[in-house]
């Protein structure tokens, strides 16, 4: 029973690599903002911390647990936004979400993140790939001062 | 105009006989029949997709979830809600109203706050408010009726005021057929900061509904009264309102995070859908909406106005007939309640059944209104898309027969 | 023994393919598939009898009422209730438990009264009690689990005492498969005058149930988990208890006499069935009970014990497999939760789906239990009458494939 | 469209006669027991009063409104039990109920009451025919001292 090529599209080697060796996977000692989110279907949880230098993300740390997609997506997100300004990170988030939700052709600036496009064929897993990014959006909003106090939920699972 | 003959062919039950006679189904205000398109949609769920939605990553669960949420989105479009999340699926219209009486009412109402109802409410939009009022100390006020069976708007303007917290009113009476002019009532309620729940159980199936144009805060109705299966009701609520309401039924799916002693609840609308929803019937309801949209809700309304006008005319020819509700067919729905001579409605119903004519005889879940009308019950004939003039004729013919049984001197002047 | 091949032919959906592979449906604890006998019964209601029950004198209404009440009587026989009136139809098991938490709980519980639950309850038998406790000041107590996933009966004996008003406990865990030995618990509760609600959502579909032998006061379960349609739950209650309870949902049918300001409520069980019931699905549920009775509930149980034993054996051969719940198949139902190596259940579920194997991956509406098990979620395979050893083999084969994807060194020792 | 013979079985001439000219249809000035019952489906209501002379029903009066069957049945019941002892009335009630519920061959002592047997073919109307008799049972029970204070409901409608 060989696996379908489609399944390989989901579990690309680079995704599994991030899953096994997550980057920036530790809490920050001094964070400017901390946000968390969860996906009630599978219990995925992501806690995210950002430290800024002026408007630039100077340090990022995250924790949580969940499936390979949610964890790899968080790891890749953390690499992708580190060093960017809030506005750049937000633009990247928007591009990523567009690729995941609408199946739009990936924006070339997404780089490695493009490997997650395969998740698009697995509607039920899209939420997994988006979780970390939603928490990022919360964190950026919180920093911009629209913070909601209590931990916000992210998306309802499908 | 609707092509009644073609429509009838879509409804398998209409081919059936009752005691050797063609079934003339005139009990549509109670529940409607189902076209094969709806029955087939239901069969399709069970034969092809069936799985518990919202809880699984496997293909069947994904398919069922998509179909279920597509049904929700379709309902939202059908009533022109701003977003699908404004649609909560419940067991029936009654459960939808109970949800509001509980989650909004018990949390909001204080002693001496006023709940304004009308004298034409169905028990479903009366008894839940009695219970909530008893629990909170709120007071029920009732907008009375004018002799023609319409709301007394002058009285309404006196009743609705600063103490009013909610106005819960039917869009169309299931006894009198009266279609209420809701917009002025709703504007009045909003002036005083009250919210408005519209009982659309009788209106949504028969008249195009636009919750945004109506400005209502809540709307309740039932799938089974609009060609859909049983076991599905809808509560529409403005998102901001729903979002502030606590849960009603509790269990799986309506939660976000559960600990032993407390829980955080899910987003709207899922917060209000506890446990395994009746997804198969909700998905089949989607097909009922397709069917109605293909006919066109304006054509449905037009058909019923004409049929009701015809029926009012034919019934008026029957001697000793006392018809309730507004005389003008454009101001009422296709629901005609009457009292025939001195023959008890129960007896009329039995004789009509012998003629194959299914009508309702009783209090129509509006007991106190019966007292106002000073009758123990009424006979009610109600129409839908598959009814034609031949059905009305069958009704009047059978009434003549009824008079014979009871020795009542009924004559139809022109029949 | 069950003839699985013959049974499968009755289930149209089992002929379906998922991504080119035979559907191996192992998500029965979430919901079961429907035999054509049930689907046909549903079609028959709509094509031949459909009318609003309990409200009409005409032929269709009489037929529907008779079929609906016959379904109720059948449910009563199926669980050996003393009388049909002890069976209340609800939307699902969740709504049935909510009914008790509301109509019995809110009316009965006082501050510091104790509600005893267990650490293996489904959210449906936990969250309603959290809400009722918050409203009444009652306190929740939990019977803990032993390492093998059974209830700690010594702890139960310490917990249940004079302050206990209700013990609400599942007959079978939907995560661990544990079948609880309820009789000692029930006797203990009764010694202290407490009532006992049994969550039978997982047990009634799989094990012959006798409420009289069990001595339980309430029993809740869902039709959709036992070959029946969605949208039908059952609350069994001892007549004397139900009869003393006030209504929950309010509206048509549940009343006896309505006045503007107050109402008198109907007899049990109709007092608890407000509005138009989901009669079509209740009537189809009757056919599901016929189907199960034709197989024989003892044969169903025997089949599942054997299949579970086989599955436990096969899964134990898979390296890195952590299986939860009692190891002895005779002490558990056909529900097997596991964690496979370090692969997240969500990932396992996705890969299995590619092999056509539908399992559940998640918290199974038992989030706090997941914390006790120290896992974020589990994979759960659950069986019913149409499952055979080939399904179990498909599962274990697919698990081997999963390990390959994730580079996990899984080997089946004997596979 | 001639009426079916079956319908004539329901609406026998004697039934219609009792309906049009109900017997004992007036409240008693001095009653020993008063009971009422209602059928929520059609709103039928029967209020019944009995006066006893020793153990014998010396006077009977009833009121209420409802369909022809319920009213005729009440009228016929009032004639049938007048002058009987409580035990005889109860025996008659049992015989009548047996005929209505089970379709049992009518007990010969039922006399005129037998015409109501035709109602048996109309399940939904059986409750109508039984209403007055159920109220009678309440009244007899009340007199025997098992009274329930508030007006008892009779049967749920079908
Ligand atoms: C043990 C248990 N209790 C209650 C329920 C709730 O059933 P339903 O979702 O049909 O209300 C379930 C199933 O989800 C269950 O497994
Ligand atoms: C005006 C009105 N409101 C509410 C209802 C209740 O609908 P359901 O019985 O489907 O809950 C009905 C129908 O019975 C109705 O006619």
Site of tokens 């964690």: C339
B143 in Cβ contact with B118 (< 8 Å) = yes
The chain-wide mean pLDDT, for chain D, equals: 85
Give the pLDDT band of residue C411 (cuts 50, 70, 90).
very low
DSSP letter assigned to residue B246: P
Say what the ipTM of the complex is.
0.91
Count of C-beta atoms within a 10 Å radius of residue D134: 21
pLDDT at A158: 34
Tell me which range, B162-176, C367-381, D118-132, is most confidently predicted by mean pLDDT: B162-176
For chain C, the 3-state helix, strand and coil shares in percent, each to the nearest 5, are: 45, 20, 35
Per-residue pLDDT at D4: 64
How far lies B379's CA from each of B363, C33, C382, in Å?
9, 43, 52
Q: What is the pLDDT of residues A116-137, one digit of tens each?
A: 888 887 878 888 999 999 999 9
Looking at beta carbons, which pairs linking A108-115 to residues 24 or more positions away fall under 8 Å?
A110/A80, A111/A80, A112/A14, A112/A76, A112/A79, A112/A80, A113/A76, A113/A77, A113/A80, A115/A12, A115/A14, A115/A15
Residue, of B198 and A155, whose pLDDT is higher = B198
pLDDT band (50, 70, 90) for residue D155:
very low
How do residues B165-197 score in pLDDT, each as one tens digit?
Answer: 999 999 999 999 999 999 999 999 999 999 999
What's the N-to-C CA distance of chain D in angstroms? Answer: 28
Average pLDDT over residues B253-274: 91
Question: Residue B222's pLDDT is what?
Answer: 98
SS3 C337: strand
CB B367 within 8 A of CB C257: yes
Q: Does C390 touch chain A (CB under 8 A)?
A: no
Q: Is the pLDDT of residue B32 over 90?
A: yes
Task: Summarize pLDDT for B63-116 with one digit per residue, the tens.
Answer: 999 999 999 999 999 999 999 999 999 999 999 999 999 999 999 999 999 999
Query: pLDDT band at residue C406, thresholds of 50, 70 and 90?
Result: confident
Average confidence (pLDDT) over C115-123: 98
Number of other residues whose CB lies within 10 A of the CB of residue C17: 10
pLDDT, position C69: 96
Residue B387: predicted pLDDT: 98
Q: How high is the mean pLDDT of chain B?
A: 95
The answer for B 249-268 residues in CB contact with A (under 8 A) is 255-257, 264, 266-267
- Calpha distance C113→C104 (Å, rounded): 13
Q: How confident is the model at residue A154 (pLDDT cuts 50, 70, 90)?
A: very low
CB within 8 Å of chain B, chain C residues 259-318: 259-263, 274-281
pLDDT of residue C171: 98
Pick from D11, D125, D128: which is nearest to B405 by CB? Answer: D11
**In this structure, are residues C124 and C100 in contact, taking their beta carbons and an 8 Å threshold?**
no
Residue A106 pLDDT > 80, yes or no? Answer: no
Q: Do B255 and A158 touch (CB under 8 A)?
A: no
Cα–Cα distance between A35 and A26 in angstroms, integer? Answer: 14
pLDDT tens digit string along C190-232? Answer: 999 999 999 999 999 999 999 999 999 999 999 999 999 999 9
**HSE-up of D114 (CA within 13 Å, CB side)?**
9
pLDDT band of residue C386 (cuts 50, 70, 90) is very high
Structure tokens at B21: 């006679």
Cα distance between residue B334 and residue C169, in whole Å: 50
Say if D and A touch: at least 3 Cβ pairs within 8 Å. Answer: no
Question: pLDDT confidence of B286, banded at 50, 70, 90?
Answer: very high
Chain C closest-CA separation from residue B87 CA (Å): 18
Q: Give the pLDDT confidence score for residue A104 in this predicted structure.
A: 72
Structural domains of chain B in order of their starting residue, each with its CATH number: 4-30+297-414 (3.90.1150.10), 38-293 (3.40.640.10)
Start-to-end CA span in chain B (Å)? 26
Q: Name the residue among B54, B66, B264 with its Cβ closest to that of A157.
A: B54
Please check whether residue C199 is in contact with residue C169, taking contact to mean a CB–CB distance below 8 angstroms. Answer: yes
The kind and range of the H/E element at C257 are: strand C255-258
More confident residue, C397 or A146: C397
Note whether B257 and A42 are within 8 A (CB). no
For residue B223, give the ligand nearest its CA. Answer: 2
Q: Over B171-200, what HEC string results?
A: CECCCCCEECCHHHHHHHHHHCCCEEEEEC
The nearest alpha carbon in chain C to B247 belongs to: C131
Tokens of C221: 């379960």
A111 pLDDT higher than 80: yes
A2: preceding bond cis by omega (within 30 degrees) = no
Q: In the predicted model, is pLDDT for residue C332 greater than 90?
A: yes
CB C129 within 8 A of CB C136: no
Prediction pTM value: 0.94
- What's the pLDDT at B66? 94
Nearest ligand 2 atom, CA C252: 9
Mean pLDDT of C132-136: 97
């Amino acid at each position: 029973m060989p696996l379908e090529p489609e399944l390989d599209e989901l579990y690309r080697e680079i995704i599994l690599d991030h899953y096994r060796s997550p980057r920036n996977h530790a809490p920050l000692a001094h964070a400017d903002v901390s946000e968390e989110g969860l996906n009630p279907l599978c219990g995925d949880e992501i806690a995210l911390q950002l430290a800024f230098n002026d408007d630039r993300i100077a340090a990022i740390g995250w924790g949580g647990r969940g499936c390979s997609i949610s964890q790899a997506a968080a790891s890749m997100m953390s690499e992708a936004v580190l060093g960017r300004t809030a506005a750049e990170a937000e633009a990247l988030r928007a591009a990523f979400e567009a690729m995941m939700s609408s199946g739009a052709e990936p924006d070339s600036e997404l780089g490695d993140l493009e490997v997650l496009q395969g998740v698009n064929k697995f509607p039920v897993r899209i939420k997994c790939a988006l979780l970390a990014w939603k928490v990022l959006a919360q964190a950026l909003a919180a920093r911009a001062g629209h913070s909601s106090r209590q931990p916000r939920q992210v998306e309802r699972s499908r | 105009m609707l092509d009644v003959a073609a429509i009838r062919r879509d409804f398998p039950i209409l081919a059936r006989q009752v005691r050797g006679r063609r079934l003339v189904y005139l009990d549509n205000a109670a529940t409607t029949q189902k076209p094969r398109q709806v029955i087939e949609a239901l069969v399709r769920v069970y034969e092809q997709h069936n799985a518990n939605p919202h809880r699984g990553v496997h293909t069947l669960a994904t398919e069922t979830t998509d179909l279920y949420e597509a049904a929700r989105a379709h309902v939202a479009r059908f009533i022109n809600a701003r977003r699908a999340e404004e649609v909560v699926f419940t067991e029936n219209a009654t459960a939808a109203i109970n949800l509001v009486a509980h989650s909004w009412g018990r949390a909001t109402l204080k002693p001496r706050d006023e709940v304004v109802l009308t004298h034409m409410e169905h028990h479903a939009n009366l008894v839940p408010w009695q219970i909530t009022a008893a629990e909170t100390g709120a007071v029920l006020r009732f907008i009375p009726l004018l002799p023609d069976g319409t709301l007394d708007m002058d009285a309404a303007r006196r009743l609705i005021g600063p103490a009013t917290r909610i106005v819960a009113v039917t869009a169309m009476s299931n006894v009198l057929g009266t279609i209420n002019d809701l917009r002025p009532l709703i504007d009045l309620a909003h002036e005083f900061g009250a919210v408005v729940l519209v009982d659309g159980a009788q209106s949504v199936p028969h008249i195009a509904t636009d919750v945004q144009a109506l400005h209502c805060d809540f709307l309740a109705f039932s799938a089974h009264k609009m060609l859909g299966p049983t076991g599905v009701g809808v509560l529409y609520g403005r998102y901001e309102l729903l979002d502030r309401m606590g849960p009603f039924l509790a269990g799986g799916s309506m939660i976000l995070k559960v600990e032993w002693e407390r829980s955080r609840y899910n987003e709207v609308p899922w917060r209000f859908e506890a446990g395994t929803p009746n997804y198969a019937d909700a998905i089949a309801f989607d097909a009922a909406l397709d069917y109605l949209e293909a006919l066109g809700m304006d054509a449905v309304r037009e058909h019923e106005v004409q049929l009701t006008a015809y029926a009012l005319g034919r019934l008026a020819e029957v001697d000793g007939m006392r018809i309730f509700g507004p005389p003008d067919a454009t101001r009422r729905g296709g629901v005609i309640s009457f009292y025939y001579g001195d023959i008890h409605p129960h007896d009329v119903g039995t004789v009509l059944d012998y003629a194959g004519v299914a009508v309702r005889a009783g209090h129509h879940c509006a007991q106190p209104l019966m007292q106002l009308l000073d009758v123990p019950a009424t006979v009610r004939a109600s129409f839908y898309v598959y009814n034609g003039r031949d059905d009305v004729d069958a009704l009047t013919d059978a009434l003549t027969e009824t008079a014979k049984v009871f020795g009542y001197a009924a004559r139809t002047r022109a029949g």
